[in-house]
Copies of this chain bind each other. A is one copy, B any other.
Amino acid sequence: MIKPLGDRVVLQAIEKEEKTASGIVLPETAKEKPQEGEVVAVGTGRYENGQKVELEVKQGDRVIFSKYAGTEVKVGETEYLILRESDILAVLD
């Protein structure tokens, strides 16, 4: 299990199947860096003026995040992205 610290969030990026107008599935390289992902685990929260405040996102949320944010890590065979909650722009529900 991977437990993020403080205001960090662990998510798995969701590759968007990108097809050109004419239906061709884009090769890996040409694809836009993914901006959507599913939250796997959230940190214990961050401090606001000395008070510990919970994070807004929850495990299982589908989120949109800043394209080049966070650090890619591999645990076993699984690729994760660890980023700060402030790099998450919105929740899609």
Once bound together, how far apart are the Cα atoms of A37 and B57, in whole Å?
27
Instruction: Determine which residue in A3, A86, A90, A93 has the highest number of CB atoms from chain B within 10 A of its CB, and name it.
Output: A90
Asked whether A86 and B10 contact (CB < 8 A) given A73-B35, A75-B92, A92-B1, the answer is no
Does A53 belong to the interface (CB within 8 Å)? yes
CB proximity of A55 to chain B, nearest CB, Å: 9
- CB pair A10–B90 under 8 Å, yes or no, is yes
| Count of interface residues, chain A, beta-carbon cutoff 8 Å | 34
Q: How far is the CA of A71 from the CA of B75 in the complex (A)?
A: 24
B91/A73 in contact, CB under 8 A: no
Tell whether, in the assembled complex, residue B90 and residue A4 are in contact, meaning their CB atoms are under 8 Å apart: yes
- Tell whether A12 is near chain B: CB-to-CB under 8 Å: no
CB-CB under 8 A from A73, the residues of chain B are 35, 64, 89-90
Known A-B contacts A35-B73, A66-B71, A71-B66; the reply to A92 vs B2 at CB < 8 A is yes
